[in-house]
Structure 1
Amino acid sequence: MAPAHELSSRETDAYLDRIGAARPRRADADALRELQQRHLLTVPFENLSVHLGEEVVLTEDRLVAKIVDARRGGFCYELNGAFAALLRSLGFRVTLHQARVFGRDGRLGIPFDHLTLRVETADGGGPWLADVGFGDHARYPLLLEGRADQTDPSGAFRVVEAPDHGDVDVLRDGRPELRVDLRPRELAEFGAACWYHRTSPSSHFTASLVCSRFTEDGRVTLSGRKLVRTVHGRRDERMLDGDQEVLDAYREHFGLDFGEVPRAAVFPGVRAGAAGV
């Protein structure tokens, strides 16, 4: 496999500063849990590059630069690709896995639909399934080889054997969300699926804008002009009035400073508003 980009000590410290985390003394399960939580609270899940016409380059140095230097977010390939580089720089052993996402109709998405991480820690626990790139998902890493319910602020998660091929399914409150292929992968292998999600009329990313992150007590999401805030399970929606209010919301809730409001691009064959959050 091609060697992964190794972050310098300076780059690692800058990444930790970006997510508001201290450098852990040991690459153990507690440190992994804290790093995932901090990442989810500070770095938004967003598909704005798709609509802004920005290139998405799946190399760890470019992904880290986007999150740390440009102070942006991204979607799964970007967020988990960069997070893998951070974890390795801190002494964790990280393996990339491809996963397929279950749709609301129960059907599986395309191969390499999602990038997730297997992480081994210095305390001998785990291995863990760590993920900062799936939007509304588990706040904390999940035991990959555990088969009992795992309680998380986002629900009861369970990792079970898939029907065939040696894969595992990740269930949330009894409903399947991901089917994970446990064979090791390289970041470059996700390039074709990334291109599909950026360009295909069948991709939910081309159908609408989304920018979302966890908060201490819930979640905040901006989709176009619709701002959704969930606090202790209570959901509040409102439409923002005017471009300045949208720009203020990007800045206030996500730390994103745009000169003009990102607008949904027009993709051939895509019906506007076809995808939700």
Structure 2
Amino acid sequence: MKPSQVDAYLQRLGADHPPSPTTDALRDLHLRHLQTVPFENLSIHLGEPVVLEEAALLEKVVGARRGGFCYELNGAFGLLLTSLGYEVQLLAGRVHGEEGRLGIPYDHLALRVRTVEGDDLIADVGFGAHSHCPLAFAERGDQADPGGTFRVVEAGGGDLDVLRDGKPQYRLETRPRRLPDFRGGAWWHSTSPESHFTRSLVCSRITADGGRITLSGRTLTTTDAEGRKEARELGSDEEVLAVYRDGFGIGLIAVPTVRSASLGGQFG
């Protein structure tokens, strides 16, 4: 990344340039990312390409001030962290589904980050409701977090399972990958009728008080820091567009609707 791109990215997060790649700075950037860059799958339903290349990721997240799903959010965040001096590896994950079934290969992208103090951490700003702070990679006990109680456990074959409140979330490989490796996963999630991303609309972020705001289609759900939820249906298109604008910083001219997965999608 160019220095001007780093500055623009940090400005979007409302963060100062950290003097060194410390653990505390990573924790701050991680939380700010979750609060300001929404987890969203709007591109799939707006007919926009999902392009896993550095320039495209930065243009979407920084230039267009949009969000994205795991490949885009963690891909972009990894570029920022690398530019700030962190050692970053891309890790492939498979999400735990119903009845213990694992998702497709390259189902998820997470980051392994080493700080100047030598701390080895899992950073993930692209899994929706998840940990607010990075998780210790080598810790096998409970890790308390505002998002729940997390645990990283051995899953065999060198893989790791990440659990939230006792429930497996995803299985991580520990072999480093490259961004182009995830193109097949991004294509599948953008086009397959079996992908939950093609069958639903979601836009979500953490709020400043530790709660969450989520817009799923026309259903607006607010969750406070204690986990209490309130959901309501939005009526007019103007209401929906106002939530995208004021709640997520996304300016749209029309309300997105779920596209038929059979129509496929653009991918680059």
Offset, 1:216:
2.2
Checking the alignment, whether the CA contact within 8 Å between 1:41 and 1:216 is kept in structure 2 is: yes
AA at the equivalent of 2:203: C
Checking the alignment, whether the CA contact within 8 Å between 1:201 and 1:269 is kept in structure 2 is: no
SS in 2 for 1:198: helix
Distance 2:123 2:114 in 1: 10
Listed as ranges, the matches of 1:133-172 within 5 Å are 133-162=126-155, 164-172=156-164
Within the alignment, does 1:225 sit opposite 2:218 as a pair? Answer: yes
Matched with 2:197 is 205
SS in 1 for 2:110: strand
Matched with 1:274 is none
Offset, 1:267:
2.0
Distance 1:78 1:252 in 2: 22
Match of 2:249 among 243, 255, 260: 255
Distance 1:228 1:269 in 2: 29
Offset, 1:260:
1.0
Within the alignment, does 1:83 sit opposite 2:65 as a pair? Answer: no
Listed as ranges, the matches of 1:1-277 within 5 Å are 7-125=1-119, 127-162=120-155, 164-217=156-209, 218-232=211-225, 233-268=227-262
Question: Which consecutive unaligned segments of at least 5 residues does structure 1 have?
Answer: 1-6, 271-277
Checking the alignment, whether the CA contact within 8 Å between 2:191 and 2:262 is kept in structure 1 is: no
SS in 2 for 1:16: helix
SS in 2 for 1:72: coil
Measured on the aligned residues, the alpha-carbon RMSD in Å equals: 1.2
**Number of matched residues?**
262
Distance 2:263 2:62 in 1: 35
Identity %: 57
Q: Runs ≥4 in structure 1, deviation > 4 angstroms?
A: none
**For 1:17-43, what per-residue CA distance to the aligned partner results, in whole angstroms no more than 9, with x for missing partners?**
011111111101000000000000000
Offset, 1:194:
0.4
SS in 2 for 1:105: helix
Question: Which consecutive unaligned segments of at least 5 residues does structure 2 have?
Answer: none
Matched with 1:275 is none
Offset, 1:269:
10
Taking structure 2 as the reference length, the TM-score comes to: 0.96
Offset, 1:108:
0.8
Taking structure 1 as the reference length, the TM-score comes to: 0.93
